[in-house]
Every structure is written in C-alpha cells, then in structure tokens.
Amino acid sequence: MSHVWGQTPDVSVGAAGMKLADGVETYGPEAQPRLGFFTDTSVCIGCKACEVACKEWNLVPEDGLTWTGQSYDNTGELNANTWRHVAFIEQQAPDPLKHGKQDFRWLMESDVCKHCTHAGCLDVCPTGAIFRTEFGTVVIQDDVCNGCGYCVTACPFGVIGKRELGGDGGMHKCTLCYDRLQDGMEPACAKACPTDSIQFGPLDELIERARERCGDLVEAGVSEARLYLADENDGIGGAGAFFLLLDEPEVYGLPPEPVAPTKHLGTIWGAAAVAAGALAIGVAAAFVGGAE
Amino acid sequence: MGSNMAENHPVGFQWVMEARLKGATVMHVDPRFTRTSAMANLHVPIRAGTDIAFLGGIVNYILEHERWFDEYVKHYTNAPVIIDERFRDTEDLDGFFSGFDPQTRIYDTSTWHYAGMPVQETAGERSKGGTKGEQSGHGAQGGHLSHGEPPEEDPTLQHPRCVFQLLKKHYRRYTPELVSQICGCTREQFLEVAETLCANSGRERTSSIVYSVGWTQHTVGVQYIRTAAIIQLLLGNIGRPGGGIMALRGHASIQGSTDLATLYNILPGYLPMPHAEQDTDLAAYLENHSGSTGWWGHFDAYVISQLKSFWGEAATEENDFCFDYVPKIDGDHSTYQCAMDMIDRKVKGFFLMGENPAVGSANSRLQRLALASLDWLVVRDFVEIESASFWKDAPELQTGELKTEEIGTEVFFLPAATHVEKDGCFTNTQRLVQWHFKAVEPEGDCRSDLWFVYHLGRKIREKLAASGDPRDRPILDLTWQYATSGPTEEPSADQVLREINGIGPDGRALGTYADLKPDGSTSCGCWIYCGIYADEENKAARKEPGGEQSWVAPKWAWAWPLNRRILYNRASADSKGKPWSERKKYVWWDGRKKKWVGEDVPDFQEDKPPTFVPGDEAKAEDAIAGDHPFILQADGRGWLFAAAGLMDGPLPTHYEPHESPFDNLLYSQRANPTRQLASRRENPYNPAASDAYPYVFSTYRLTEHHTAGGMSRTVPYLSELQPELFCEVSPELARERGLEHGGWATIVTSRTAIEARVLVTERIKPIVVDGRTLHQVGVPYHWGSRGLTTGDSGNDLFPIALDPNVHIQEVKAASCDIRPGRRPRGKALRELVESYPSTLEASA
Amino acid sequence: MTATSPTDALSYYGRPIIKEPVWQPDIPLYLFTGGLAGASDLLALGAQFSGNRRLRTSALAAATFGTTISPYFLIKDLGRPLRFLNMLRVVKVTSPMSVGTWIFSAESATTGIAAGCQLFGVMPRVRATAHVLAGLIGPAQATYTAALIAQSVVPAWHEARRELPVLFASSAAASAGGAAAILTPVEHAAPARRLGIIGGVAELAASKLMEKRLGKLVGSVYHEEEAGTYSRLATASTLAGTALMAFAGRRRVGAVAAGALLLTGSLCERFAVYHAGKQSARDPRHTSIPQKERGGRAVTQPSSRTGNGSSPSASTR
C-alpha cells in the first residue's frame, strides 16, 4: 500500500496509549488491532529457539559460522540474515532474586525489530517497499525493494541489513511473520519460546501486562527492572515490539534514547532550502564584475 | 543437581519457570554457573563428583535437626527395620561395608539383609563370568518376605541396628564443615540449601529434586540417586504432588529405549535377561527372579505373557512357552565390554542404530579402534556419522594408529527416516508415552527402524523357511505378521503398540497388567505398558488440551503403568488414607465408596483399605499392607537402607571419582571399591592424585547441539549458534596457565589431548577444596570430525570407568591438565600424551 | 579479556549500536557528481543571462557529465540495480532520496535537453527553457544530497544536519567553478573563477564549523582513519585551489591547476563525510553517550500498575 503523494501515514496514536484508534486511515475497514511483541527478558533462558524457529519459517539463510567468544552469543547482531538475536551478558552485579550474596548474574535477551510507531526505515524508503501493515507492523516488500540501503542508515537500532554475498541484494528484517498473522497465527518465535519470554498479542494488552510484570519485579526487589520503548512519548513513539530489561539499554547494545530521524525533517529541509538559496546568491555574486 | 535443565530440557523447564513465577524457590547446585543457574534463586558451585558428600550432608542435617517427616518415615519407609547383626558400615571399616572380597572386588551382600531372614535379592546368584549386578536393580529387589513384613522392627526407631540409627551413624561425619571441605562450597551455601529444602517439606509443602546425567555418569552414579531417594523419603516427598525425584533423560525417547529393553541385560518391562548357567529352564528362571510379595509376585504372568507375544501359537505349556528360544547371556555384554570384545576380536559384527560411540562414548578413541576391528558394521542414521566414517576420518588416521587401507571393516550405511517420516512414539522422563504421526514420506532410501527390523526379519525368515534345523525355529516361530502400507511398505506401528499392550483370551486388547495370566491365555509384549491400547484405543495418541481437563491431564497421551502420573501416590495420604493436608491432597481413601479416589489413578489396589493387614500366606500384592505405598518392594516400604539389589552398598557413601586430584577426606578407601575398570593398553588411567593432572574437568551439553552432533552439527541453523568447540575456564585458571580468551587450549589426559577455543568466564569459579584452590574445566562433548562444524571429541579424554550396577561411564568428573595453544598433529600428538604419566593398573 | 561484556557497559561487547551504512564509495561519487551538476546548471543559467556563451557551454558540459554519471553511481550501488525505476513509485517528503530521485530525474532531463539542443544546434527556445529549468532545479540538486545524508541516525551526519547542506552547496559551487575554469578560456572564465573562490572559502568555513559543532566525541572522526585522511586532503586541496585560483587563475595553467585542486578538494570532502559516517556508526559511544545526556522516555518504570511510570534513576552501577 504505497502512496504517490505526501507522507506515508504513521500509526495514529490513540488516547488510550499506542493502540490504533479506529485503524490507520489507509486501511479503513481492513484495519486490525495493533499487534506486537512484549519480550520479557527476565524469563529468557537463552535457548535460541526463537532464532531457529524464525529462520526455519522465513527461510532466512545461515549467517556465518563464527565463534565470537562473546559469552554464548555467536550470532552477534540483527541483520538481513538474523531477525531474532539472543544477547548474553555476564555481569559482576547483584541479582536481587538470588538468595545470599551472589554478585553475579547472566542477562539474556531476545532482540528483534522494534516495529516502531515512528519508523525511520519506513520514512526514508524511496521505493515505498517498506510499508505499514493492517496490524501496525512494519514490513519490507521483497519484490519492490531495490537494495538502496537508505533504511539501514535510518534505523536507530541497527536492525535492517542487506543480503549480499550471493543473496538477493535486497534489505531484510523481521516481518513479525506477516503471513502467519494473516492466518490468525502467532509469529514463529513467539510460538517456539518455551518460557513465554516472547509474548505476542494486541499491543495495548501487552503493555498492561508488561506494566504489571515490571511492577511485580520492582516490588520483589529487582529495582533495575524497566520497560524499554513502552512509552508513546519516546523518540520513536513507542515500539510495536517493546522490552522488559534488567539493566540499561546500552548494556544490551540498544540505544538509550532512540529517535527516528524524521523528527528533524523540518530542520533538515529547512537547512537545505537555506543552503540552496545561498548557492543561488553565491552564483549570482560570481557574475558581478563581468566575464573577465 | 546433576542437571542443567534450562539448557538441556528447555521446553520442560518452562514449568520450572511457571513454578518460580508462583513463588517456588529454585536451587541449582552445579560446578558451573549455567543458563539454569541464571534462572535459579541460588547457585552453589561444587566440585564435580562430590554430590554424595553434599547430599549426605543434607541427610545428616535432617537427622541432626530433627527435620524428618516423622509419621511418613515411621510408616512408609524401612526406617524401623532391624538389620542383620553381622552388618558393618563404612564407619566401622574405613570406607567398606561388610562382605567385601578384595580378590574379586565384589561384595557378598548377605550381611546387609534384614535381620531374621534373607531378603533374598532375587538376582543374588553371581556367575563366575562376573555378571556384576546383571539381574539386580531391575527386578524384584525385595525378594521373599513372608506376609510382606520384615521380622524385626523397632517402631520407636531407637534400636542401634535399625535402619534409622544406621543412617544416623553412617552420615554423622557429613557435617557442613566437611561438606565444604570436600565439595568446595561454603558452609553458608550448603546450609541455605539444606534449610530451604527442609522448610519446604512436610504436610503443607513438598519439594522436588531434579537430576540428569550429571548424577548418573559416575562410578557411584546409582548411589547418587539413592542419596536423593533417602532425602526425599525422610522429608516425605515421594508419591506426593510437587515432590518426588525427576530423572531428566538425555534423549527424546531413551526412557522408551530402556522400557522396551535395548539394554543387553533386560527384556521389555525390566524383566531380567535369562542367564545361561543359572536359568536353565523356565522354572529355574522364575524361581531365581520372582518376588513373592508386591507386584513382582506376578513375575511369571509377565514373563509368560511376553513369551506368548514373541512366539504366539508355538509357545505352549509343554515347551515352557518357548523359553529355550530366548537367547541367554553368560557374562557382561554391556556396551563398553562389547567395545573391548571387538578389539579382542570376540565380536565380529555390529548393528549400530541411532548411536554414535565414536563421539558419544567414553574413551571414544577406544571405540573407534573397536569399530576398526570389526568384520562388518551396519550403521543406521540420518547422516553419515563419525561411527560410520571412521575408516576415512578418524583422528587415529592422522596419528598413524590406524591406516585406512588396513581397516578390514565393511561398513554398510543405511539412511534412516526421521520422526516426522514415520508413526511411532516417544517415552519421556515422566513415563509419558506420546504418539507422533507420519507427516511426510521418507525420501530416497531412508527407512524407519521399524521397517528395517521388520523386513530384515522377514527376509531372514524367507531364507530359512525350508530349514529343518531346530536352531532356526526361534526365528521361524516368531509372530512376525504386521500389516504394511504405503510406497515403502511400512509396517503398522500401531499394531506393534497393540502387541506391546497385550491381548486377552478373547482376542481383545487388555486393559491392565493385573489381567495377565501365567497360563498362556494372555500375551503382552511389555507388562508395564499394558493398558496403553485398552478398549482398542491408542491412548498414547490422545491429545486433549490441558486447558480442557483436570490439572493432572490424564487424557494427554498415556503414562505407564496404567496412566498413573505420580508413582506411589498412596503416599500422598496418611496411614489412615486421609490426605496429609488439604493443600496437597492427591489420592485418598473414600470410606463410603470403599475405594481409593483422587486426582490420579491410585497406585494401589483400588479397593484395599488403609487398615488392611495381609494374611500369613498372602502372596504378591495381597502381601502388602494397606498402609505401605511402595508396592513394588517386597515390604511395601520406601527403602532408606537398600538391603538387596545393589553392588556397592546399602547406603550411599562419598567416594572420589576414579580420577581425582584429591584423596577421600572421609575414608582411606579412595574410590568406589566395586567400580568397574578395564586394564588394557587402550585404556590407560591417570595415576591417583597425580600432580600432572591437577584440574578437575567435566563434559556437558549445550542447548544448541544434540548429543554426538549428528542431528545438529549437520544443520546450518544450529551449527551457527555454537560453531566451535570451546572450553570454559575461570580468569584465575587462565592466568595460571597462560590461556587467552578467544585463543586455543589443549586439554590432556592419559588417553589423549584435544584442542578447544578458550572461553574465559567468571561463571566458573575456583573453589577451595581441602584447604587448597581447585580449578575446574568444562568441555562440551558434541564435536566430531564430520559436519558443518567439526572439532575434537570431548569423550576422547575419558577412560572406561563404570558404575558397577549399571555399567554407566564416569564422564562427569575426571582429572586433566590444560595448556595454552593448539595440540600437536600426527605422531607428535601421541608423543605429547605419552610424555604424561599414566597407569594401566586398575587401582583399588 | 573474558566472556564478560565490558562493565563500563556503554556497549554490548563494543559492538556498534546502529549499522554502518552499506553504501559503497559509489555514493560519495554520486554526491560529488550530483553537486557538480546542480551548481554547474546554475552557473550555466547565469552565463546564459549574462550572454557568456563560452562559459555557458563549459558549465553545461560539466552539468551534463554530472547528471549522466551521478545516477549511474547511484544505480550501481543498488543491491538490485535493475529495480532502480521503483524509486519512481512514490514521492515521499520524509525521504530525501525519494524527493531527490525526482529532482535529479528532472535535472537530468532538462540538462540533457539543453545539452542536446546545444550539441545539434537546434531548437534554441527549447534550449533556453531547458537551461532555465535546469538552473532553477540546480540549487535543489546541489543540496538535497545533504538532506539525504542528514536524514539518518548516523551521529556524524544527523548531528551535522544544519551544516551539511551549506557544506555540500559550497562544495558544489567550488567544484562547478573549478570545472568551468578548466573548460573555459580565461577571458570568459571570470565568473567561474569567482564561483570557485567563493565556493572554496565557504566550503572550508562550513567544514570547520561542522566539525566544531559536532563536538569532541563525534567530531573526532574527522581526525581519524579514512575520514581524517580525506578531510586533511580536502582542506589542503581546497585551500590550495582557492588560493591558486585567486592569485594565478587568470593564467591558463593556473586556472587548470586551481580547478583541478578545487575538484579534488570537493571530491575528497564528500569522501571525508562518507567515511565519517561509517566511522561514527561503528562507534557505539557516538550513539549512546549523546543520547544518555539528552535523556528521554525510552526507559520507564511503572510507578503504579496503571500509570505511565517514571524513568528509572541513573545507572545503579
């Protein structure tokens, strides 16, 4: 669903939070409740079933057999050939849920595309390949994408990658299993996750649940428990895939205060206009004084 | 303990997470801080191989602080039973029990029996061929007890020779201080575990112990589990919801594999394999192995029904139901003995189905040399595993120990169908048998194991059809008719299941093993599975969702026996049949209906009242009183003291692993005196407490790979998750030995040296054992020479040192050296290994 | 070193937070040639109005070269070059590349028409109209690429969003002036020389201003690795070219040398910016530190079950 004129509409931010209020204009009667992920890293056991299920369902290629020595994370990062990535962080830090003086903990987190409310990748895509689905998710149409790579520079989370090296040259990322959603099924990773660290469903329900869970943890003494990207007032308008983290975002390799670059679109075009004007003046000035 | 459940049973672990979310406390005692430890409320690091000291310490704690569940212990365990006055404990004999013969290294267990009568372990006979505990441990340990009650008991638990007091004496020195010294944990950590366990047991609360091969794969493996059993019996946790001991098995259907007897010494349903010398005919066999009390009292019905299922019409009372057709064992034919027999050219040919000993068995170098000694080898697997390709890529080809052109083994590799390409079932750790349906036809020449065995048998029978030789009758007389279907003529797995279930005189599927008869009118492949096809319904195929039935979920699949989900659940009620508490009620006696009712199928005769007292001449289950829940034991009690059935002692005792840098701090006897060793060239041992091997190491599994790697190192999506063999060491050990994170290390034992990438991590901590710092090294064992990711095999490092009861290998604790850099190649590798000290002596 | 992530924990094992742009050196070449084209078209228009035919021809030649080769580089850099035309499916104001595609398509068309008419000596009125249109589009052509770069999360680019357009515009002017000075006989090349000097001086000032405004952390990329090398090269070249053009531009040799230096400087400046982006993307601190300082609502801890919650206090480490 691309538009010839004007800005591709974002998900509208309703009064009740981040859910779509009466659907996105473009979808009208076809609009669905906004769906997304709540990833509760406090119950992630680092099994990587999510990584494997995703690759099997979406036929994502193997991403390189490289041992990193970075704890148990040999996947490294999200990119065109990794749409779920489990991070492992070994820390000399107190774990409040542990009895006794145990100053060690092992954080695990399944990272994924955030399906931002204000999605930088979608905004800058020059072919309209990246679009917003009726579920509020952000999907790349493989048959339109020409691999220009602009989206890569506009993602505050470093999610999108290019499938090179014998691949199709296009950009790829998590589709939130769009095909499965259309058949009323949950995404492959959510289905495979044995501990329900990856929870899938209507976004407003997930946020409710997440707030309760975070509150429970804080009450139980886990003062570092926090929600990440659950607030519509953050730089991306909140995410369709948000997280419960047990430490600062940058510990997990996540940006602490991500902002969609489109936020400064006005400034950018404005500066360009000023510069264009200055160029015109400069050229005109060059003609003052004759041809010699 | 002895388990890394989150990593190796992640799907099952979700229930632990659910329990934790509901407030349960999860404690993980393990040498390494693993993904399980990350989710636990407490992680206690201990030295690999010292769990009995830790658990014994808990037993001592329970007894010292009077935390046992008194009523449960008095009525449901053999705590009050008085033991033979000739019995001597390890405290008396400095690490030995009475009856040890230093020549044969075997115990005469007669002094361990109940006072006043021989608790004849029905497999008491030992053959001269050294069938160490062949027929023990699986069958009627209880032996013969008249009216199911031991003759001498002290209900006050004060008699100095009653089990309770013997227990106290045996564990008296397992104090928190000593536990800390042996295991390397702190006193506080140990006490936290002990106290938490005690506080959460009793009427209102139960605790569960979960273990895996971290406990079984030791020379004292069976005794590890026994110690846990003692703890759970003392705390009253057995047979109760949320209690019990859960053995997490290492493979999707390995439980089924032992149930249906892929072990050499048992027949399906844990019937002992007949022995050539002792079980000369059916009568002798029945005499030697039956129990007169408890459900083993119907041993004859189980045996004869099985013989009928094998030989059908041909099995009659006149010919002992074809008992003579059953192959007999005459010694130790366990997997390790078999491998050694191959090298000695006693075993010429081998079928290897779904196993990869070249990577997965201890002393895998010896395994490869064994395979290279065979005349012929048939391998069935999904991919060409190392055990099939050894002749071209075994590490021994590089060292020059083997040369391809000199290997005479003819290898037949037959590709196998996967579980989605055939009907069948998995039997998991909870005795749950779950059916799976074929989804696609196998490709090419891939066939299921059922297809292979059935058609192999069919072809052999065709070839022998005209034979008049009586030697061929056992094969020709087999019931071997199954319907086949589909393009590959796949035999019906469903029919096989029905045959396993058993058929009555009316030709209909039986519903319970209680209906099995010793007169040849019933047939049943495996008595514990009787009922799985009751009413002509494949009950294992039931898939009613959990949300649509009770919390016990009896209509999901089927658990043996008789779909009981918790065994010995009579113990969830007190001796009068009333639940211990409302909160923990599970099965109880309904006085009006005059039967046992509750959430689960009662593991008791339905109509036997709690007040039932057996008559003097009562037999089998009728000899078990109404307040004795442990119906497979001769006396219906849970055995704190194992008066019969085990090779190495009635009470678990801390022994050091066969290879250890430490001496035994409790006794002069260092290691399990009855452990099985093999003194041969291919199996050198590290000398005891040798300085050359100062570190303790252990092998383990990663979530990302599966056993010997055939199913995971050949799959790109799994291989990329853990693409190289690595070892885990602490920063302190790295400094001490000059190891670099991300670099290489060589790990050396007297068997061989392997190389691995170095992962320096604080998850492995140095611990203090007996006053000195000990470093431990962790090595995943998944790698071999074939696949997308290849590497050295961890099991190459271990010797053959086995538990005497079940012949399982000790691969969870041994000693090693570790040095920086890659290992040498070719002959230089052997030179390096041989520069280290070793011994061929099977030491005491 | 161990398996533990650095505990100063400003990153995950020192890995980048955002992705390094996947663009190949084709892109700075695309930027450079595009800018050259836009400013040249404007110069050609000025020459048209002031009746300076020789200058008009040279500027048009440079513009034609630019508008031909610039899209070539862009298309070559695509993962699926044959799908270039998909860029014309939409017009998205949020995407400077989308807007830019239309801009340079129009610029290429008008410049091509003007050049064609000139070459074959036909349709003078069409040619004139094409000149005017191309010239009017010129400033947009020379500056949209800066918007493209700035509309990203790459710190060295996004944080320079106010300075990049001026930098690119002045760089375009310097290169257009330089190119025209090479191609035009000196007696007709005065505007080209002046444009080259104006552009050169502005370019130098803009790049320094940009670096300063980026601050110590992010701005450091212009002193390191490839960006540092290209930046130094650009400064030296542009400085030399500007000076040479001012003092020796009236002689043929001087003009050519100065023009070449200005072109080189402009090209190097684009490469400096390109590499600066890659280096900045690679360093997780460039992303995490400024964001942490800025603060915001990405991280929240619900204070009540239903409330939106507050931001947790600063790191408890």
Higher pLDDT, C187 or B145: C187
Tens-place pLDDT, residues A207-264:
999 999 999 999 999 999 999 999 988 899 999 999 999 999 999 999 999 999 999 9
Phi, psi of B210, rounded to the nearest 5 degrees: -120, 135
* A179 Cβ contact partners less than 8 Å away, ≥ 6 residues apart: none
Q: Which domain holds residue A289?
A: 263-292
Chain B residues inside the 8 Å CB shell of A99: 25, 41-42, 192, 196
Using the Cα atoms of residue B532, residue B533, residue B538 and residue B544 in order, give the sign of their dihedral: negative
For residues B388 and B379, the answer to whether their CB atoms sit within 8 Å is yes
Interface of C with A in 290-309 (CB under 8 A): 291-292, 294-302, 304-306, 308-309
Q: Do A46 and A79 share a structural domain?
A: yes
Test mutation, B724, B729, B735, B760, chain C, max C CBs within 10 A: B760
Indicate the pLDDT class of residue A98, thresholds 50, 70 and 90.
confident
Answer left, alpha or beta for residue A6, where phi above 0 means left and psi between -120 and 50 means alpha: left
Say yes or no for a CB contact (<8 Å) between B789 and A90. no
DSSP code for B751: S
Say yes or no for a CB contact (<8 Å) between B741 and C4. no
* B160 Cβ contact partners less than 8 Å away, ≥ 6 residues apart: none
* B759 Cβ contact partners less than 8 Å away, ≥ 6 residues apart: A69, A71, B726, B727, B728, B729, B741, C3
Q: Please spell the DSSP secondary structure of B17-41, one letter per residue.
A: HHHHHTT---EEE-SS--HHHHHSS
Q: Do A105 and A207 share a structural domain?
A: yes
Using the predicted structure, report yes or no on whether residue C314 has a pLDDT greater than 60.
Answer: no
DSSP code for B583: T
Chain B residues inside the 8 Å CB shell of A55: 717
**Strands (E) located in A133-264:** 138-140, 161-162, 171-172, 198-202, 226-228, 241-245
Using the predicted structure, report yes or no on whether residue C5 has a pLDDT greater than 70.
Answer: no
**What domain count does chain A have?**
2
* A11 located within any domain: no
User: Tell me, what's the pLDDT at B148?
Assistant: 66
* A197 located within any domain: yes
* A145 located within any domain: yes
Nearest by CB: A90 against B13, B43, B762 = B762
Q: What is the mean pLDDT of residues B229-241?
A: 97
Distances (CA, A) of C47 to C40, C66, C73: 10, 18, 28
Is B840 an 8 Å CB contact of chain A? Answer: no
Q: Do A195 and A180 share a structural domain?
A: yes
The interaxial angle of helices C164-183 and C252-282, nearest 10 deg, is: 150
Q: Please spell the DSSP secondary structure of B771-831, one letter per residue.
A: TEEE-EEEEE----SSSSS----GGGG---EE-TTT--B--S-EEEEEEESPPP-THHHHH
Using the predicted structure, report yes or no on whether residue B686 has a pLDDT greater than 70.
Answer: yes
Is B789 an 8 Å CB contact of chain A? Answer: yes
Spatial strand order of the sheet with B558-559 comes to B424-427, B432-436, B558-559
How many angstroms from the chain centroid is the CA of residue C231? 14
User: Tell me, what's the pLDDT at B127?
Assistant: 32
Is B10 an 8 Å CB contact of chain A? Answer: yes
User: Tell me, what's the pLDDT at B293?
Assistant: 66
Give me the CATH number covering residue A145: 3.30.70.20
Cα separation, A138 vs A131, whole angstroms: 6
Determine how many CB atoms are found less than 10 A away from the CB of residue B408: 11
Q: Do A222 and A93 share a structural domain?
A: yes
Tens-place pLDDT, residues A136-190:
999 999 999 999 999 999 999 999 999 986 678 899 999 999 999 999 999 999 9
For residue B179, the number of C-alpha atoms closer than 13 Å in the C-beta half-sphere is 29
Using the predicted structure, report yes or no on whether residue C315 has a pLDDT greater than 50.
Answer: no
Test mutation, C143, C159, C251, chain A, max A CBs within 10 A: C143
Tens-place pLDDT, residues C194-250:
999 999 999 999 999 999 999 999 999 999 999 999 999 999 999 999 999 999 989
Q: Do A192 and A277 share a structural domain?
A: no
* A132 located within any domain: yes
Say yes or no for a CB contact (<8 Å) between A258 and C153. yes
Q: Do A202 and A91 share a structural domain?
A: yes
Give the minimum alpha-carbon distance from C98 to chain A in angstroms, rounded to a whole number: 4
- The type of residue at C68 is T
In chain C, domain spans = 26-285
Nearest by CB: A43 against B17, B41, B722 = B17
Q: What is the mean pLDDT of residues B353-378?
A: 96
**Arch. (CATH architecture) of C26-285:** Up-down Bundle (1.20)
Nearest chain A residue to C194 by CA distance is: A286
For tokens 């009125």, the residue is C125
Give the minimum alpha-carbon distance from A50 to chain B in angstroms, rounded to a whole number: 11
Nearest by CB: A268 against C140, C150, C294 = C150
Phi, psi of A75, rounded to the nearest 5 degrees: -90, -45
Using the predicted structure, report yes or no on whether residue A12 has a pLDDT greater than 70.
Answer: no
Indicate the pLDDT class of residue B250, thresholds 50, 70 and 90.
confident
Neighbours of chain C (3+ CB pairs under 8 A): A, B
Nearest by CB: B721 against A43, A75, A104 = A75
Q: Do A189 and A144 share a structural domain?
A: yes
Cα separation, A42 vs B20, whole angstroms: 12
Indicate the pLDDT class of residue A103, thresholds 50, 70 and 90.
confident
Buried b (16+ CB within 10 A) or exposed e, B361-375: bbbbbbbbbbbbbbe
Tens-place pLDDT, residues C10-25:
789 999 999 999 999 9
Test mutation, A41, A55, A65, chain B, max B CBs within 10 A: A65
Test mutation, C85, C145, C153, chain A, max A CBs within 10 A: C153
User: Tell me, what's the pLDDT at A11?
Assistant: 47
B3-17, B557-571, B666-680, C286-300: least confident range: C286-300
Cα separation, A111 vs A37, whole angstroms: 11
Interface of A with C in 172-201 (CB under 8 A): none
Test mutation, C7, C8, C12, chain A, max A CBs within 10 A: C12
Tens-place pLDDT, residues B45-74:
999 999 999 999 999 999 999 999 999 999
Is C11 an 8 Å CB contact of chain A? Answer: yes
Interface of C with A in 143-172 (CB under 8 A): 143-144, 146-148, 150-154, 157-158, 161-166, 168-170, 172
* A182 located within any domain: yes
ipTM for the complex shown: 0.92
Nearest by CB: C79 against A156, A170, A268 = A170
Q: What is the mean pLDDT of residues B162-182?
A: 97
Say yes or no for a CB contact (<8 Å) between A194 and B14. yes
Q: What is the mean pLDDT of residues A97-112?
A: 88
How many angstroms from the chain centroid is the CA of residue B834? 34
* A109 located within any domain: yes
Counts of helices then strands in chain C (DSSP H, E): 10, 1
For residues C60 and C138, the answer to whether their CB atoms sit within 8 Å is no
Say yes or no for a CB contact (<8 Å) between C78 and A148. yes
* A233 located within any domain: yes
Give the minimum alpha-carbon distance from C234 to chain A in angstroms, rounded to a whole number: 20
Q: Do A292 and A250 share a structural domain?
A: no
